[in-house]
Amino acid sequence: MIQKLSDIQKDNLTKRNSALHSTRMEGAFREIRDMDYEYSADIGLAYASPVRGVWNIVHIATLVPQGHQIFVCPTSCLRGVVLTTAELGRMDKMSTITVGEENILEGDMEEMLQHGVERVIRELPEKPRMMMIFTSCIHHFMAVNYQRVYNILAKEFPEIDFVDCYMDPIMRRTNPVVPSLWRQMHRVLRYTEAKNPKQVTLLGNCFPHEGAYCDLVSLLEANGIKVLEACNCKDYDEYLTMAESTCNFLFHKSGIAAAKDLEIRQKQPWYRMRPGYAYDEYDEDLRKAASILGIPEPKQSFLDSEKARTEACIRETQSLLEDTPVSIDYTAVDCPLELAQFLLDHGFNVESVMVDNFTESEDVFQKLRNTKPTLRIYETYGWNIRQMQRVHAGKILCIGQKSAYFMDSDYFVNEVENAGMYGYRGLRRLMDLISDAFRNPKPMRDLVQVKGWECECGE
Amino acid sequence: MNAVSDYQTHVFTSTYTADVSGVCSALYELGGMTVIHDPSGCNSTYSTHDEPRWFDTDSLMFVSGLDEMTAVLGDDNVLIDDVTHAVRDLKPRFVTLCSGSIPHIIAFDCKGVAHLLEKRTGVPMLPVTTTGNRSYVAGVGAALTEWVKRFADSLESPYRVSSSGGPDCSANTLEGAAGPESFSVNLLGVTPLDFSINGNVDAMRKVFEDAGIPVNCCAAMGESFDSLRHIFRASVNVVVSSCGRRLARYMEQTAGIPYVEGTPIGAYGAARLPKLAKEAYEKKRASLEEDSHGALDGTSGSLRMLLAKKKGDSEGICLWKGNPAHERWDVPDGQILIIGEEVFAQSLAAAINQLTPDCRHGLRAFAVWPDVDHGFPEDVLAELIRKSRYIIGDPLYRTIPHDSKQNTFVDFPHEAYSGRIFRDRIPVFIGKNYDVAELL
C-alpha cells in the first residue's frame, strides 16, 4: 500500500518530536540517572561552539601526499573549507569551483565541473598525482552525473587519479562525511595479490601513532613490521604501497568503512583495536594482532608488568588530583563514558561528561549510571547549551577542549581523538597529560580556537 | 555552457563571506536569535571565520540541521517545531530566519514559515531571503533593511510625510523635528566583516563627532535593539560599506533621508566625508524648501553623493566596466591596484590620489571589488595584479602567481576575505591618524 505524502510527513514529525522530548535537556545538563540510552543532541537547532580542535575533511584530505582537493559548492559552503586550508597555509593543495544560481537554473553542472577541473589542472604549477573532487549536497538534489565527468577526466589525464569525494552534510545521518572520505581516499590503491607480510596499514588516523604511546605500534616495531598511515607517507608512491599491506588495523570507528571497502577490493583483512579502558581487551587485541601477522604474542609476564606500571601511574595521578572535579568530553577520547567509569573506579571525582549521543554500548551506559547516578551529562551541540553559564566554581580538570571551554578552565588536557594513544602506554601517557594539565594552566582561549588540533595557523 | 562563467573556478584564491554569515553578523548585537536553515556547517563557518565576537559575547545563532528526509519531503513542520522549542527556552526578542542553498532549490518559503512561526510563538519573526550563493554584502544589506522595516519607525524621520500623503511642513522646514541643531548621521553597513573589532568603529564615530556631527545610529555595531529603532531620526545616512547601500536606498525611498557613500580613511576621508554629509543635508534642506513652495512631496528627489567620484572627475577613481561578468576593468598598466570591498576600495583610492605625486610615486590608484553574485573572475584579477606596480589588498591574494620584483604587494587584511588569519594585522584605518602614504 502506498503511503500518502502527508502521512509520511506526519509520521516523521511524530517520531522526531518524540525523540526530541525524550532526549532534550531541560537546562544545560541532565544527570545520567534521568537519561535514556537513546539520547541524541542532533535533533533540533544546532549550536557551534568556538572549539575547533576536531579535524574536518579538509584536514584529512590534506594528508594525502601530492594530492589536490577541488571543492565544488555554493559560496556559503566553500567559505569554511577554503579558510581551513588557508589557515593550514596549504592553499597550494586546494582549488574551488563555485556553484552559481545559473548552474541551478540551466542544469549545466556537469560542464561546469569538467571545465573547472580542466582549468585547475592546466593552471597549477605542478600536476597533482591525485585529485579529490568534493561535490556537495546540491549535487544530489540536482541529480548531477559526476561519474561521467570523472570518466572523461580520467581519459584526458591518465596520469592523475581522480577520486569522487563528498561534502554533503545533508546525508550525515546515513552517510557521514568523515568515514566516507577515509574510504574514498583509499580507493586509489591498485589491487595487488602480492602482500607484504612485513607491512601493515593503520586506517582512519589523523595523527601518527608512535610506539612510545601506542602498544600496537610498539609491538609491530619490535617485530620489524613497517607501519603505514595516511599521515606518515612521504610521497604518493609510498601511499600507493598501502595496497601491499598484509592487514589493516584501525582504532576509530570512522575508519571502518574504508576497512570494509579494502577487504573487498584489496582482499586485505582488518581488525579494530578497541580504544577503551579495559585491560583484558588490550591483552586480547594485542594477541589477536600478533596472531593475524604471525608474530610472537606478547608474553603474559610482560602484559602483567605493563598493567602494574599503568596502575602505579594512575594511583600517582589520582593522589595528585585528589577530589578535584574532572570533566571529560567526546572530542578528546573515543569512549568518554568508559573513561569516566575507569576514572571513577580508580577514585577520581568525575563530575561531568560532555557528549552529544551515546556511541558506546548500552552496558557501559547502564554501568556508569549505576556507579554515579548524579554524573552530569552536558550536550554541546543543541540549542540548550546556550543556557549554560560558562563557569565552574573552583578548580576543575578537563579532558578535552570542549569541556575546558564550557567549564572555562585553563587546566585541561589538550587532545582530540585519543591523540595517537592506545593501550597501556597510551593510558600512562594520558595520566602524564592529566598531571601536567593539573599543574600547569594553558591559554585555553587561544588553544581551543585553533582549527584542527596541532595545526598551526599558516600565515 | 555560459560564456562568462569562468569566474566560478578559483585555482588559487579564497572566497568572500557568504550572505548567510552576513545576516548573522549584521544582527549579532541586537538581542535576537538567528536561524540558518541549512544542513550543517554554515554556523560553524560563520562562528569560526566570520565572527570575531563569538568567543566573548553570547548570541543566539543556530543552524536548523536540515537532513535528507526532511528536505525530500519538504517538511517545514520540522523547522517550525524546532524553532518553537528553542524560542520557548531561550526567549529571544525576535527571530531571524534565513536559508542556504538547499532550501533555496527546494523552494523553501521563508516568509510563509516565518509568518506561521510568529503566529505560533508570538515572537516577531524576520524572514531574510538568502540563497547561500551570494556574498555577505547581500546578506548584511537584506538583514539590516528587513530589521529596520519591521522595527524602526519611519515617522521619526525629520523629512517625514504627513498622514495625508503630502509633506508635513513643520518637519520639512527642518525647524521642527530636526532643526539644524539636531543634524545627525547614521553609519550604515558596519559589521566586523569590513571593520573588524580593533577600534575602527569607534574611530568612525569619532570622525563625525569631532566634526560636530552626532552619530544617531551605527548599523549595527555598538547598538541595542532599542537604540537602533530610532534610526530614522538621522538627517543623513553615511554608507561606509556597500553593505549599507540597500538600507540607505530604502530609507531614502520611504523617509526621504539622503545618503552619502564613503569610508573615512585617513586624513582626507576624515575631513571630506563629514563635509559631504553636511553638503547632502544642505542640499536636502534646499530641495525641501523648494518642495514646500512647489508642492512636491517631502520624499522626492534621490540624493546620493560619493566620496570617490567616477572616472573623469578630478579624483580619478575608476569604476569597473562589464557587468555582470567583470571581465574588463579600465585599469592602466603599472599603477596602484586596490582590491577590496567596493566603498572601502574606492575611498582608499581617493585618499591615495589626494596625496602629492611624490608620495604615490607618480602613480594613481584604481579600485576593483568583487561582485555580490560572482566574486572576482580569478583570471582577470590575476592579469590586473601582474600588470600593476603596487597591489593593496588582503594577503591571501598573494597566492595568485605574480612576479614579486614587478608587483609589490601591500598587505591590507580584510576579515570578509581571509577571516581571522590576519586579524591582528588589520590596521585602524579610519580617521585622521591613519597615514595613507605609509602604504606605499
The complex scores an ipTM of: 0.90
Quote the DSSP letter at residue B48. Answer: I
Task: Provide mean pLDDT across the span B254-280.
Answer: 93
pLDDT digit string, tens, across residues B235-247: 999 999 999 999 9
Pair (B107, B176) in one structural domain: no
Which of residues B294 and A161 earns the better pLDDT score? Answer: A161
Q: What is the pLDDT of residue A79?
A: 94
CATH number, position B228: 3.40.50.1980
Pair (B283, B195) in one structural domain: yes
Q: What is the pLDDT of residue B175?
A: 40
Please state, in angstroms and as integers, the Cα–Cα distance from residue A347 to each residue in A36, A325, A342, following that order. 26, 11, 9
Domain count, chain B: 3
Residues of chain B with Cβ-Cβ distance to A170 below 8 Å are 39-40, 66-68, 71, 102
Pair (B398, B357) in one structural domain: yes
pLDDT digit string, tens, across residues A254-293: 999 999 999 999 999 999 999 999 999 999 999 999 999 9
pLDDT digit string, tens, across residues B196-211: 999 999 999 999 999 9
Task: Reply yes or no on whether the pLDDT at A428 is more than 90.
Answer: yes
Contact B64 A141 (CB under 8 A): no
Mutate one of B19, B24, B44, B136 to test the A interface: name it (highest A CB count within 10 A): B44
Yes or no: say if A319 and A343 are a contact pair by the CB < 8 Å rule. Answer: no
Query: Is B321 domain-assigned?
Result: no
CA distance A27 to chain B (A): 9
Cα nearest neighbour of A381 on chain B:
B62
pLDDT digit string, tens, across residues A69-83: 999 999 999 999 999
Residues of chain B with Cβ-Cβ distance to A445 below 8 Å are 55
Final residue of a structural domain among B288, B306, B324: B306
Pair (B28, B116) in one structural domain: yes
Helix (H) or strand (E) holding A69, with range, is strand A67-73
Query: Is B82 domain-assigned?
Result: yes
Task: Reply yes or no on whether the pLDDT at A436 is more than 80.
Answer: yes
Residues of chain A with Cβ-Cβ distance to B17 below 8 Å are 79
Final residue of a structural domain among B108, B134, B160: B134
Contact A100 B77 (CB under 8 A): no
Yes or no: say if B133 and B104 are a contact pair by the CB < 8 Å rule. Answer: yes
Residue type, B410: V
- How many residues are present in chain B? 440
Pair (B168, B277) in one structural domain: yes
Contact A75 B85 (CB under 8 A): no
Beta strand spans in A211-300 (E)? 226-228, 245-250, 270-272
Q: What is the pLDDT of residue B294?
A: 44
Query: Is B140 domain-assigned?
Result: no
- CB-based contact, A18 to chain B, within 8 Å: no
Cα B6 to Cα B379: distance, rounded to the nearest angstrom: 8
Contact B421 A44 (CB under 8 A): no
Q: What is the pLDDT of residue A100?
A: 85
Task: Reply yes or no on whether the pLDDT at A459 is more than 80.
Answer: no
Q: What is the pLDDT of residue B314?
A: 35
Closest CA to B367 of B392, B389, B387, B386: B392
Task: Reply yes or no on whether the pLDDT at A57 is more than 80.
Answer: yes
Domain of B364 in residue numbering reads as 336-439
Q: Which of B107-116, B120-129, B307-316, B351-360 has the lowest mean pLDDT?
A: B307-316
Q: Which of A7-11, B101-105, B367-371 has the lowest mean pLDDT?
A: A7-11
- CB-based contact, A449 to chain B, within 8 Å: yes
Final residue of a structural domain among B268, B286, B306: B306
Pair (B170, B289) in one structural domain: yes
- Domains of chain A with CATH codes: 57-185 (3.40.50.1980), 196-298 (3.40.50.1980), 301-448 (3.40.50)
Task: Reply yes or no on whether the pLDDT at A7 is more than 80.
Answer: no
Which of residues A398 and A457 earns the better pLDDT score? Answer: A398
Pair (B21, B118) in one structural domain: yes
Residue B328 burial by Cβ neighbours in a 10 Å radius (0-12, 13-18, 19+): exposed
Q: What is the pLDDT of residue B295?
A: 36
- CB-based contact, A369 to chain B, within 8 Å: no
Closest CA to B155 of B124, B175, B177: B177
Q: Which of A203-207, B92-96, B292-296 has the lowest mean pLDDT?
A: B292-296
Q: Give pTM, 2 decimals.
A: 0.91
Query: Is B399 domain-assigned?
Result: yes
Interface of B with A in 103-142 (CB under 8 A): 105-106, 131-135
Pair (B40, B127) in one structural domain: yes
Interface of B with A in 396-415 (CB under 8 A): 396, 399, 401
Pair (B168, B117) in one structural domain: no
Yes or no: say if B232 and B208 are a contact pair by the CB < 8 Å rule. Answer: no
- CB-based contact, B54 to chain A, within 8 Å: yes
Query: Is B143 domain-assigned?
Result: no
Which of residues B180 and A143 earns the better pLDDT score? Answer: A143
Q: Which of A25-29, A30-34, A309-313, A392-396 has the lowest mean pLDDT?
A: A25-29
Task: Reply yes or no on whether the pLDDT at B178 is more than 50.
Answer: no
Contact A82 B15 (CB under 8 A): yes
Residues of chain A with Cβ-Cβ distance to B78 below 8 Å are 12-13, 16
Cα B381 to Cα B377: distance, rounded to the nearest angstrom: 6
Contact A100 B373 (CB under 8 A): yes
A113-147 in b/e form (b: 16+ CB < 10 A) is bbbbbebbbeeeeeebbbbbbbbbbbbbbbebebe
Query: Is B141 domain-assigned?
Result: no
Pair (B391, B352) in one structural domain: yes
Contact B9 A171 (CB under 8 A): no
Pair (B125, B191) in one structural domain: no
Pair (B232, B369) in one structural domain: no
Joined together, the cell numbers standing for residue A400 give 578535552
Cα dihedral B215/B219/B221/B227 (nearest 10): 70
Please state, in angstroms and as integers, the Cα–Cα distance from residue A66 to each residue in A127, A131, A200, A240, A448, following that order. 9, 9, 22, 12, 29
Cα A405 to Cα A390: distance, rounded to the nearest angstrom: 7
* pLDDT band at residue B308 using 50, 70 and 90 as cut-offs: low
Residues of chain A with Cβ-Cβ distance to B71 below 8 Å are 141, 170
Joined together, the cell numbers standing for residue B316 give 580619478
Contact A91 B12 (CB under 8 A): yes
Query: Is B313 domain-assigned?
Result: no
Joined together, the cell numbers standing for residue B60 give 543566539
Query: Is B201 domain-assigned?
Result: yes
